[in-house]
Structure 1
């Protein structure tokens, strides 16, 4: 007995699905790929702080661990031939500040009172202002080799929720 031919409605259903499903997949993939590129282009062109958490890769490269529960968080990454800098600002609590400093092997006692370690040029880049009416403390960490240097400034005006300003710089020379 010869094989039975499938009903006509099955042919009219299966054949279009065999064509449309792969085409739909290609269209969706192309759109996602396009969106990804536009988002990365916008981030690279940013000239002001982005009010989001930086990516895990950025935090790992620049060795900046933001304590969980910090809010708000903002960042900016700048690059040129000689160096790359990563600017991060976040509000945390006392425990978060201790955790943050501990990642560098430091404690609050390492912060110098009334010391703003972010340079005026760095502050202008992200439009940070460090007025005399606030309670500042800071710390500079120089590292050897290809490790990033850190300028850390903390605003203790609200002692329960200090604001941390970090500039992590990798020099290529």
Structure 2
């Protein structure tokens, strides 16, 4: 008995399945990934100046932590773990002033005064700190009845900013700190 085996016709290539789905996926990825990247960067670029614009237009305290750059320039080291942090920056041709308020612990206050270049032992009740005019600029009421305040001024040499600090010591466990750093030109 003889079996017939058919041989492929000469001149025709062997059958290979087509991978059209793979080609479609590659094309979609080559188009979708760069398009998605462009949309994302355009969105980020559009929003990039809004925070800076909002800060520049502020006319009072902004309830957020100051940037590291602001803290370094004005030498106001807000201690970690502080709460209710707010700041405001006012600039003119003669001076730049940076207002900061926050709540902290006794240890946080000592660390703040030391890092600012002052002596925590010099912080005394009734001592001068933030002036009435400075407090009025941002709406601080540092003469509230029933509250006790302590103050300290840190005079820094050269062109470094001077720091005035007033602390509401009414609540011993959560002290309210009001600091004003001023640079004269």
The TM-score with structure 1 as length reference comes to: 0.87
What root-mean-square deviation, in Å, do the aligned CA atoms of Structure 1 and Structure 2 show? 2.1
CA distance in 2, matches of 1:166, 1:160: 19
Larger radius of gyration: 2
1:152 and 2:165 correspond: yes
Structure-to-structure mapping, 1:130-145, within 5 angstroms: 130-133=142-145, 134-145=147-158
Deviation (angstroms), 1:75: 1.0
CA distance in 1, matches of 2:115, 2:163: 12
1:62 and 2:51 correspond: no
Q: 1:6 to 1:84 in 2, by over 3 A?
A: farther
Tell me if the contact between 2:77 and 2:116 (Cα under 8 Å) persists in the aligned partners: no
1:169 and 2:160 correspond: no
CA distance in 2, matches of 1:115, 1:11: 78
CA distance in 1, matches of 2:178, 2:110: 14
Deviation (angstroms), 1:153: 0.7
Deviation (angstroms), 1:21: 1.0
CA distance in 2, matches of 1:81, 1:47: 18
Structure-to-structure mapping, 1:65-104, within 5 angstroms: 65-104=77-116
The equivalent residue for 1:18 is: 30
Aligned length: 170
Give ranges in structure 1 of 5+ residues lacking alignment.
none
Tell me if the contact between 1:98 and 1:108 (Cα under 8 Å) persists in the aligned partners: yes
The TM-score with structure 2 as length reference comes to: 0.82
Q: 1:6 to 1:63 in 2, by over 3 A?
A: farther
Aligned to 1:72, the other structure's residue is in SS state strand
